[in-house]
A and B are shown apart, each in its own frame.
Chain A
Amino acid sequence: MTTNPAVDAGWADPPPRKGFFTDTSVCIGCKACEVACKEWNAVPDDGMNFLGSSYDNSGELGGSTWRHVKFIEQPPVDLGMPSTTLPGSEGTKTDFRWLMSSDVCKHCTHAACLDVCPTGALFRTEFGTVVVQEDVCNGCGYCVPACPFGVIDKRIGEGVKNEGLAQKCTLCYDRLQDGLTPACAKACPTESIQFGDLDELRERAAQRVDQLHGAGVPQARLYGEDPDDGVGGLGAFFLLLDEPEVYGLPPDPVVTTRDLPRMWKRAGLAAATLLAGAIAVFGAGS
C-alpha cells in the first residue's frame, strides 16, 4: 500500500511494517505501559519526582522514559460548541474532562534522527522501525535536536547503563524478532495501545474515528496516520480527543532533512563566496 521504509533502507523482502495505534480515548492512565517498558527493556529509574502536573510524574520522553503517559485536566469551558453528550441522552456534560495519552517514539517514515546520525548507530529495522545500536552510538547528541517530536535523548545519570548514549523506544525489537507483541501493548489493559501491521492498524483506526464521531465525540481525530504529512506518516500514530499541542505534540511536524538539499546549496554558495573573496583580496593591490 504505502511505501515501506524497510525496503527503502535496503531490506530485501521485509515482513509487513509494524507499528502502534494508540487510541487515547480508552486510556485510563494506569501507566502499565510505562512499567512494562521499564521492566522489559531494563530502562533505569530517572527520578522519583512530583511534577505538579496531574498524575504525570515522568514529565517527558527521554533517554530513560520510553513510554510516557500524559494527563491533561480540562476545566469546563463553554465555547458554544455542540454538546458532546449523546443526542437524546439525559446526562449532562461532566464539568471536567481528563485526557490521558501514552506517548512513545513515532518510528517516523522519514526519521530525522536516523538521517542525521553520523555513526550509523540509528538504523531502520526490517519491521520499518527505528532503533539505536548502543554499541555503535558515540553520544554525539545530533539526533536529539533533529527529532521533530522531542523523543530521543542522551541517557543521563552517573554510572547508569549506557550513560551518555542516545536512547529511545525500540518498539521492542528483540520481542518482534521472536514474534512477540511489544511489552507496553501486551500490558495495556484497555487496548489503548494496539500493536500490529501498520496497514491494518490504519484501517482499524479509521473505523474507530467513525465510530466515535457517530457516538457524538466530534473531537476525535487521528494524528500521524497520513503518509503524506511532513514526516511521511508515523509508525506509531494516535487517536486524540483534542488538538495535538494540547498533548504536547507538534501540530505540523516536518522532517528537517526535507530541506537539506536547499541547505547544502546555500552552504555551497557561501563557501564559493568566501573562496572568491579570499582570492579577490589578494588581487586588489598591496
Chain B
Amino acid sequence: MVPPAHFTSYYGRPVLKAAPWTHDIPAYLFLGGLAAGSSLLAAGGDLTGRPVMRRTGRLAALTALTGSFVALVHDLGRPDRFYNMLRVAKPTSPMSVGTWVLSAYGPFAGVAAAGELPGFGWLRPLGRPAGLVAAAVAPAVASYTAVLLADTATPAWHEAHRELPFLFVGSAAAAAGGLQLALSPAAETGPAQRLAVAGAVLELAAEHRMEQSMGIAAETLHEGRAGQWMRTARALTTTGAVAGLGARRSRVLAILAGGALLAGSVCTRFGVFEAGQESARDPRFTVVPQRERLAARG
C-alpha cells in the first residue's frame, strides 16, 4: 500500500509513551537467554557424560540468572516492593507469567549449580533432577521475554510479535553455545557447537523475516542507535557462526566464536530494545499504520 504522503500530529509529539525502562531491561533479556541456553546444555552434558560442559553450564546459568534478577529488580521504581509481583498470577500479564516462570526455574537452576561448588557437595545428588527440571523450564525462560516486549503498544515490538520469540530463542542458543565453545574442552563441545551455529542461523533468519512482516516500524531497526546495534549484531553473529564451524579444531577460533556470539546476542537485545523505544517516540509509527488500517477497512 502507498503510505500517505503526509501525516498530522500534535506538535510532532509522541502519541505513545516509550517504556520507562533503562538498559537493565535489554541486559536482562540477554542474561535470561544465556541462563536458559546454559541450563539446556548443562542437562545434556550431564546425561551424556560431559562433566565440564555440565559444570560450566550450571554455573553460567546461576551467574546469568543472578545478574538478570538484579537487573530486573534494579529497574523497578520501588525495588523494595519487588515481592508484589508474587501477589497475583495473571495470564494477561507476560511480566506476571515471567515472574512465575522464573520462580519455577530459579531454585532448580540454583540447586543444580550449587552442587558444583566446593562446600556444597551434599547437594550433588540433587544436581541431576534439579538440572533436568531447570532445563525443562528453560525454553519458557528464553521465549517469554519476546511476549513481554510484544504485548505493548510500542509499534516495533508489537508488530514483531510473530518472529520475536524465534529471534530470542535463537539468540539464547547462540549465546549459551558460544560460551561453552569458549570455556569447555573441544572433546566435549560437539553439541554446543551445533547449538551455537543453529542458534545463530535462527537468529539471523528470524530477524530477516521480522523486518519483512513488521511494516514501517522496521525502519527503526536500521536507523540511529538501534540501527548500529543491529548491524553490529549481524556482523558479530555471522562471524561467530562461521568461526564456530572451526571451533573444535582451534582454541583461538573457539574463543573468537564464543566471544562473537555472546557479544552478538547482547547487541541483538539492545538493538530490538532501542528500536522499540524509537518507534514509540516518533508518532509516525503510530499514526501511519493505523490510518492505513482504517483505509483498508473502508
Closest to A62 in B: B17
The interface-forming segment of A22-30, A36-44, A78-86, A278-286 is: A278-286
Partner of A141, one of B11, B21, B162: B21
Is the pair A150, B77 in contact by a Cβ cutoff of 8 Å? no
**Would B78 and A164 count as touching, CB distance under 8 A?**
yes
Considering only CB atoms and an 8 Å cut-off, how many residues of chain A contact the other chain? 74
Collect the chain A residues with CB atoms within 8 Å of residue B280's CB.
145
Chain B 173-200 against A: per-residue CB contact (8 Å), 1 yes, 0 no?
1000000000000010011101100110
Q: Decide: A274 near B169, CB < 8 A? Known: A256-B152, A266-B161, A266-B162.
A: yes
Q: Flag if B88 contacts A118 (CB, 8 Å).
A: yes
- The distance in angstroms between the C-alpha atoms of A249 and B291, with both chains bound, is 12
Q: Which among A72, A154, A243, A274 has the highest number of chain B CB atoms within 10 Å?
A: A274
Q: With an 8 A cutoff between CB atoms, is A252 at the interface?
A: yes
How many inter-chain contacts with C-beta < 8 Å in the A-B complex? 248
Q: Is the interface of B mostly helix, strand, loop or mixed?
A: helix
Query: In the complex, which residue of chain A has the Cβ closest to the Cβ of B145?
Result: A267
Q: Which residues of A have CB within 8 Å of B135?
A: 278
Q: Residue of B at shortest CB range from A59?
A: B13
CA distance A146 to B154 in the complex (A): 7
Interface assignment of A55: CB less than 8 Å from any CB of chain B: no
- Do A257 and B194 form a contact, CB below 8 Å, given A145-B280, A274-B40? no
Contact A138 B85 (CB under 8 A): yes
Q: Which of B266-281 contact A (CB under 8 A)?
A: 276, 280
245-298 of chain B: CB within 8 A of chain A:
276, 280, 283, 286-287, 290-291, 293-294
A7 CB-CB contact with B under 8 Å: no
Let me know if B151 and A270 touch, CB within 8 A: no
Bound form: Cα–Cα A273–B142 in Å:
11
Tell whether, in the assembled complex, residue A246 and residue B161 are in contact, meaning their CB atoms are under 8 Å apart.
no
- Complex Cα spacing A133 to B286, Å: 29
Q: How far is the CB of B4 from chain A (nearest CB, A)?
A: 11
**B76 and A138: CB pair below 8 A?**
yes
Number of interface residues of B (CB under 8 A): 82
Tell yes or no: B143 within 8 A of A by CB.
Answer: yes
Please report the C-alpha to C-alpha distance between residue A252 and residue B93 in the assembled complex, in whole angstroms: 23
Nearest CB of chain B from residue A264's CB, rounded to whole Å: 6
B44, B81, B82, B157: the one within 8 Å of A282 (CB)? B44
> Would you call A145 and B16 a contact (CB within 8 A)?
yes
In the complex, whether B212 has a CB less than 8 A from a CB of chain A is no
A271 at interface, CB cutoff 8 A = yes
Is A240 located at the chain interface by the 8 A CB criterion? no
| Residues in A whose Cβ lies below 8 Å from that of B199 | 277
- In the assembled complex, B58 has its CB within 8 A of some CB on chain A: no
* Residue on A nearest B141 in the bound complex, by CB: A271
On whether the beta carbons of B20 and A153 are closer than 8 Å, the reply is yes
A220 at the interface (CB under 8 A from B): no
Tell me the nearest residue of chain B to A165, going by C-beta.
B77
Is B14 touching A260 in the complex (CB atoms < 8 A)?
no
Q: Which residues of B contact A274 (CB under 8 A)?
A: 36-37, 40, 138-139, 142-143, 169, 172-173
**Known contacts A118-B99, A256-B153, A272-B139; A267 and B87 CB within 8 A of each other:** no
- Is B29 in contact with chain A by the CB < 8 A criterion? no
Beta-carbon contacts under 8 Å, B83-135 to A: 84-85, 87-88, 90, 92-96, 99, 135
A277 to B37, CA, bound (A): 11
Instruction: Give the residues in chain B near A278, CB-CB below 8 Å.
Output: 37, 40-41, 44, 135, 139, 173, 195
> Nearest 4 A-B pairs (CB), nearest first?
A139-B77, A164-B77, A248-B10, A270-B165
Residues of B at the A interface (CB closer than 8 Å) are: 7-11, 13-21, 36-37, 40-41, 44, 47-48, 75-79, 81-82, 84-85, 87-88, 90, 92-96, 99, 135, 138-140, 142-144, 146-147, 150-154, 157-158, 161-162, 164-166, 168-169, 172-173, 187, 190-192, 194-195, 198-199, 202, 276, 280, 283, 286-287, 290-291, 293-294
- 6 new A-B contacts, CB < 8 A, other than A145-B280, A269-B166, A271-B139, are A72-B10, A119-B84, A145-B17, A165-B77, A256-B150, A278-B195
25 A/B residue pairs, CB under 8 Å, sorted by A: A60-B14, A116-B152, A117-B90, A118-B93, A138-B78, A138-B84, A139-B78, A140-B85, A144-B20, A145-B280, A149-B15, A153-B17, A245-B7, A246-B8, A259-B161, A260-B94, A266-B161, A266-B164, A267-B144, A267-B147, A271-B165, A277-B195, A278-B40, A278-B139, A286-B187
